[in-house]
Amino acid sequence: MKSLMASKHTFLCVLLFLFSLSKGDDKIKHLQGCKRGSKVQGLHEVKQYLAQFGYLNYQVTPDHVNPLQNDEFDEQIEAAVKDFQNFYHLTATGTLDGPTISQMLMPRCGRPDKGISSHNHEKKLLHIVSHYQFFPNSPRWPPGKSHLTYEFASNYPNIYVPPVVSAFNKWASATGYFTFSRVDSVTIADLKISWESGDHGDGIPFPPGTPVVAHAFAPTDGRFHYNANQNWFIGASPNAIDVETVALHEIGHLLGLDHSQFENAIMWSYVPTGAVKGLDSDDIQGIQALYMLYK
């Protein structure tokens, strides 16, 4: 009986997840092919998406209607779309083509991509290009603060604690610098992990239908929020998001890394459903550079 109920619950979660995806498709999928000069109902959704993730910043005056609320494809939208396409290595057409719409529909981290300090270094001897990036002004944990404590808020599901603990252990092992330990109080923890939905008090809500799976803040804030309304799973599962993969990404933010432009890096902002990822050399190079090779 319990097995049957669990199966029904899993099936219902998958249906709900697919329904939320279909609603997202309805919002912007029909916009494929829009370009400068177009005026199509729903285009404001793309504008808001581009603004949310740092590609679009309209200057709004009190006597003008906010351009984010209309459905006109203007010159600034074209430039923002090209910027988005360049960041994700798509052909920079400035048009909402199929690959661009598909990219926007993928689950992703809630932190913006732009407005960050870029550190793209070419190591000519090794023929390796690093794409890691830092937050503005490169905030980091102070010298000597290499051991960080963490705790889960009371709303966090116990079933999803082990994958996050595993993610902390992987960062510790890979860096050889940071260590982490769990404490028994969120109040005293350096890093605070919680399970949130909607407007949860940090000014960055998780609205219904959002592709955002989680977000975390730069040092030394320490907050890490999962979006409770996504379909979560431990490991690879079709139409679900892996808890540990997202934890690895958001812990990178907690340590000071922002989004990488390298798709294999854990700090790539998108998390395809069913995917399981680990730390990449680009992620470790970024931490080493931020903390000056731990010196």
Active-site residue set: 250
Q: What is the CA radius of gyration of the chain?
A: 20
C-beta of residue 196 within 8 angstroms of C-beta of residue 164: no
C-beta of residue 178 within 8 angstroms of C-beta of residue 144: no
Burial of 136 (0-12, 13-18, 19+ CB in 10 A): exposed
- Interior/surface letters 91-115, b for 16+ CB within 10 angstroms, e for the rest: eeebbbbeebbebbbbbbbbbbbbe
C-beta of residue 199 within 8 angstroms of C-beta of residue 205: yes
C-beta of residue 108 within 8 angstroms of C-beta of residue 213: yes
Give the integer Cα–Cα distance in Å for 107 and 17: 11
Q: Which residue, among 110, 112, 167, has the nearest Cα to 283 in the 3D structure? A: 167
